[in-house]
Structure 1
Amino acid sequence: MGDLFRRLRYEGRAGSGSARSAPRAHGVRREVSLVRLFASPFRPLGLFTSRAAIAAALTGVFALAACDGCRPPTTEPARTRDERPTVRLYLVSDLAGALEPCGCVKDQLGGMDHFGALVRAEEASAAAYATLTAGPLFFMDPDVTADKRGQDVAKAETIAKALASLRLAGFAPARNEWAAGDQTLASLREASGAPLLFANATPAAGPRTATAVKELGGVKVGLLGVSAPSRAREGKPLSEPKDGPIQEAVGAALAELEKQGAQVVVLLASIGRGEAKRLADAFPKLLAILVGSPGGAGEANTQAAPIERVGDVLLVETGNHLQTVGVLDLFVRDGSMAFADGAGLEATRKREALSARIDDLRKKIATWETDPSVAKADIEARRAEVAKLEQERAVLDKSPTPAKGSFYRYALREVRTTLGTDKLITDKLSAYYKRVNDENKRAFAGRTPRPTAADEPAYVGIDVCSACHADARKVWNGTAHSRAYKTLEDGFKEFNLDCVSCHVTGYERPGGSTVTAVAALKNVQCEVCHGAGSLHVKAPARVHVPVPKPSGDTCLSCHHPPHVHEFDAKTKLSGVLGPGHGRK
């Protein structure tokens, strides 16, 4: 019996390479599919089956197989593409405090309000849904500064409340979650309405748990999380919690989830991709692993890693800062928890490659639209290319539905402006910006710029410069630089510490401006590029303008990803030049 069991298991794997592949027809393949059903970790009977139970079931298998040969083959009617998912999971890696992109250019990826619009638009298309996250969530950096603590915590609270409205069901923390302390994290967890899943934490006490079971569409979805904050490259080491051994914790958590009746299990892993792959090898009974980073810092965007299957376990990792969201749909038929791949991972990879190319072209188009040196015909040609690529992607989205058996579909969705906005979340964002604006205005009301040294120039402002450089002032008046501060005022962001530095002149420099002391230095004025001019103003014949011909490198202090998609400083300089300002 043992030899036969091993042979059937081998034939089953050789037949498809996956225990969740679409069931084959009849005869021997029927035997194999039934063995898979008994051996599958994703059935209503529990996560684990003993060899004795499987052996006992084989008698029935052989009888069914014998009868199967006496009957004419039958084909289950094909299901339509409109079949509604039983469970939909929105998967997010490394959100990292990114409430929304800065909006400096058009068509940026990201935005909690756009993610909300995506979820709301699809609410009726699935029987039940939930959101899951791994990696840095509430904070962009592992430590908060004294100046920004109030603002960063307010942003984290907004993220928590927004995710609660999108049915956050669980998250695996990263080092960043402790940026403002354990007590703040406990409050954020409560505001999110979701468990903080950290199975390998030591000590286990605190605002965290190892596992959770969420019933969605009649399916008991088991959730467990692991984290490795000690492996984060940034941030001070945590005194506690410490991250203990991961594999042992996952094994114990799976046993606990079996006791709780979990039918499918998703692991949230804030440990990086390499360690996540090892867990997929060690625990093939998992349905999927959502990969996140153990920590992170900074605003740089990363692309989503390709979808991967390790054995039968899906490995999902999305782009950080909510640029993309993984959507995993489970279609349960006849109560079976053995899921075939209903989309085809190769097709999914092709779709992701097309999406990356489309996004790259959209970034270029958004940049070229503001560049007078780019011919309109070239822009239209690229728009036509985008349309063609979108058609190719749409064809991939129409893959046939498996004729029978439960299956899953996975897609990586871009979060962008074209999705629209969700009013509930937009209101939360507006309340956050107004709150931070008011609080920072009060908190920093007395902040003045650092004094200059005796021989050091101070900033004088464009009105002083204009007395001698009237032609240059006319050119500046026609640029976006002259309206930079108003864009902040219109959005209640002029006192926002994430924004103000690139919308004023001489920010936090000696004799310059601060978040509140900006009266004569609003907007991106002459001295941002040419240097502080007080000494030149006092003695123009003797003291020259500090930087007569600034290089394009000056622009890159603000014009860099993710604020802009691409930036050619030499080309862009032409947009701020004119008669009396670099041109005759």
Structure 2
Amino acid sequence: MIRIHTPLAALSPLLAIAALASGCPSATPEARDAAPAAPAHAASGEATLFLMADIRGVLRPCGCTVDLQKGGFDRLAPYLAKERERHPDAKLLHAGPIFFEEGHVEADKRAQRVRQAEVAADLVARVGVDVAAATAADAAASDGKLKALGERAHLTLTAANLRLEADPGLSAFEVRTIGGIRIGIFALASPEEAEHLGARGLIEEPTAAATRTVAALADRADVVLLLSGLGLRETKRLVRKVAGIHFAVVGGMGEHPAVSEEAELVGDTRVMQFHREGRFVGRLTLALVAGKTAFVDASQASPAELAELDARVARLEQSLAGWEAKGDGTEREVRSARHHLASLKDERNKLAARKIEVPRDQSSFSFTLTPLNWDLPQDPDLLAIMDAFEQELAKINVANAGTLPAPKEGEAYYVGAAKCFDCHEGPERFWKQDRHHDAWATLERDNKTFDTECVSCHVTGYGKAGGSLVGQVKGRTAVQCEACHGPGSLHVKDSKKASINGHPTAEVCQGCHNKHHSPEFDFAVYKPKLMVPGHGLPPLPDEDDDE
């Protein structure tokens, strides 16, 4: 049952006193670093903020497809270091879950996720996140240890509508003064996450919490920024209802959303969206004139930024030309380079096209969304931390892998591709040239053979009778016949029995080729590529493979 917290102000005086006496946390806790209330003044100044959302404990990109090869703390750190040379007073803010993917963690993945959250906290500390939204997903998945993770990450957690039993002092808002501008920062957790909290805490209805918090910031901040965990649609609905929110960073987004690169004007609020898992970094620069908060959009790149992008394009073109001329680089590496080159050129052209003149007496802002692309430099120290974690997973996940279920009488179990190829020679030749054959090799190359997030889709029969588990993959590595056609023991005994799935549907493929790992997957496009003689098509005359 979802538990929505009602503000104490809405209770009768007697009930409010009883709630306070029983230890119920205050509905309006003071911000830890909030500036004291001060008389209104017409502030002027310039401030830069770096913005991210929904890192969700991901240390580096999945890499399943080239369009996912963005992000990673190893690339984030050098990028921020260079940007901070230009903007030394800038702060990095984060919306949405930062340590865990979601509030519920599957039992077989819990040990890895808990340790991964600790490593993520260490990396967050290294890159320097200043303020992050406290979310119900992180609170639930950390099992009451969110405060400890925040301290480990050296960041300030805040939420206006989240009350946690393990952290009753969680601030309702924060205020940071940058370049003479007081920026009020508050976060909202999504009520949809309340089911995972249980007795660990309560989530107040967001609109009431936002209205109260904006009022509290009126004398404390010149600009108000929301770190929203509500997702895009609910964030837009909220800012239309609640006046006084100047900027909103949207977290809590779904898988691979269609993200706008603009700071969209919704009501009087500029709403900024992000892809999940730390693939992009936003930079918001505010120029406040005489306290005017009707900001003009002045988003455009400086000559230095365009020159840097031109240099990156030139380096990537040179590397790609060298690979193609010498035949160096794997087919995957070449595809990846081409993808990122096209992405980089597109980014450069969009930025160059923006030409805006802002009157000097008007406040303005500039927002850019930068992908952490494959060609950016990597921090070797952070890379070493992530590599050490991958090595640690062998011990963690093998110890927690459990055992495979025993075959049940009369039910099919997995037997491995070698049994299939006793009869199906044509499909064997095709499979050995197909990417599914190399699925396990990609994990070996990337040191992911003990990662529970990866292994199940790169082996056959994961967790099933006769199949595989982490550390138990002999004879079941790669995506073999049974991964699509189902366990084959009964078919091996009697090939005429209708005991094998001869025509796998899209649902079979989408177990792995889902939005998280293969956002562009289209069953109708890919199925014909697997139709060859003896496998979906009649066998050649000199072969007797069954279809």
TM-score bracket, normalised by the shorter chain, equals 0.7 to 0.9
Pairwise CA distance, 1:485 = 1.3
In the alignment, the residues of structure 1 paired with residue 291 and residue 381 of structure 2 have an alpha-carbon distance, to the nearest angstrom, of 35
Structure 1 residues 504, 386: closer, same or farther in 2, change over 3 A? Answer: closer
Pairwise CA distance, 1:525 = 0.8
Moved more, 131-140 or 204-213: 204-213
Would you say 1:49 and 2:49 are equivalent positions? no
TM-score of the superposed pair, with normalisation by structure 1: 0.68
Would you say 1:88 and 2:51 are equivalent positions? no
Would you say 1:230 and 2:230 are equivalent positions? no
CA contact (8 A) 1:154 1:436 kept: no
Pairwise CA distance, 1:439 = 1.1
Report the equivalent of 2:511.
Answer: 557
Please list the CA deviations of residues 148-196 of structure 1 after superposition, one character each: whole Å capped at 9, or x if unmatched: 2221122222332322223211112222011234542112111221111
Count of equivalent residues = 460
TM-score of the superposed pair, with normalisation by structure 2: 0.72
Would you say 1:321 and 2:281 are equivalent positions? no
Give the AA of the match of 1:267. Answer: L
Report the equivalent of 1:426.
Answer: 383
In the alignment, the residues of structure 2 paired with residue 102 and residue 140 of structure 1 have an alpha-carbon distance, to the nearest angstrom, of 13
Give the AA of the match of 2:366. Answer: R
2:128 aligned residue (144, 164, 167): 167
Pairwise CA distance, 1:118 = 3.2
In the alignment, the residues of structure 2 paired with residue 107 and residue 533 of structure 1 have an alpha-carbon distance, to the nearest angstrom, of 35
Structure 1 residues 187, 383: closer, same or farther in 2, change over 3 A? Answer: closer
Structure 1 residues 179, 240: closer, same or farther in 2, change over 3 A? Answer: closer
Give the AA of the match of 1:246. Answer: A
In the alignment, the residues of structure 1 paired with residue 83 and residue 210 of structure 2 have an alpha-carbon distance, to the nearest angstrom, of 36
Pairwise CA distance, 1:331 = 4.3
- 1:42-121 map, 5 Å: 48-49=39-40, 86-108=46-68, 110-113=70-73, 114-121=75-82
- Give unmatched runs, 5+ long, in structure 2: 1-34, 302-337, 541-547
Give the AA of the match of 1:49. Answer: A
Pairwise CA distance, 1:212 = 2.9
Pairwise CA distance, 1:429 = 2.4
Structure 1 residues 499, 407: closer, same or farther in 2, change over 3 A? Answer: same
Give the AA of the match of 2:248. Answer: I
Report the equivalent of 2:413.
Answer: 458
In the alignment, the residues of structure 2 paired with residue 230 and residue 565 of structure 1 have an alpha-carbon distance, to the nearest angstrom, of 27
1:156 aligned residue (117, 131, 135): 117
In the alignment, the residues of structure 1 paired with residue 106 and residue 340 of structure 2 have an alpha-carbon distance, to the nearest angstrom, of 43
Give the AA of the match of 1:329. Answer: T
In the alignment, the residues of structure 2 paired with residue 492 and residue 409 of structure 1 have an alpha-carbon distance, to the nearest angstrom, of 40
Larger radius of gyration: 1
In the alignment, the residues of structure 1 paired with residue 195 and residue 500 of structure 2 have an alpha-carbon distance, to the nearest angstrom, of 37
Would you say 1:206 and 2:163 are equivalent positions? no
Structure 1 residues 145, 567: closer, same or farther in 2, change over 3 A? Answer: closer
Report the equivalent of 2:545.
Answer: none
In the alignment, the residues of structure 1 paired with residue 482 and residue 163 of structure 2 have an alpha-carbon distance, to the nearest angstrom, of 53
- Give unmatched runs, 5+ long, in structure 1: 1-43, 55-84, 348-380
Moved more, 155-164 or 389-398: 389-398
Cα-Cα RMSD? 3.8
In the alignment, the residues of structure 2 paired with residue 400 and residue 248 of structure 1 have an alpha-carbon distance, to the nearest angstrom, of 34
Pairwise CA distance, 1:322 = 2.8
Structure 1 residues 570, 181: closer, same or farther in 2, change over 3 A? Answer: closer
Equivalent residue of 2:171, what SS?
coil
CA contact (8 A) 1:450 1:512 kept: no
CA contact (8 A) 1:116 1:166 kept: yes
- 1:47-446 map, 5 Å: 48-49=39-40, 86-108=46-68, 110-113=70-73, 114-181=75-142, 183-202=144-163, 206=168, 208-216=170-178, 218-219=179-180, 221-232=182-193, 235=196, 237-243=198-204, 245-247=208-210, 249-251=212-214, 253-254=216-217, 258=220, 262-272=221-231, 274=234, 278=238, 282-284=242-244, 286-293=245-252, 300-304=255-259, 307-309=263-265, 313-331=269-287, 338=292, 341=295, 343-344=297-298, 392-400=349-357, 403=360, 407-444=364-401
CA contact (8 A) 1:530 1:545 kept: no
1:503 aligned residue (458, 462, 472): 458
Give the AA of the match of 1:474. Answer: R
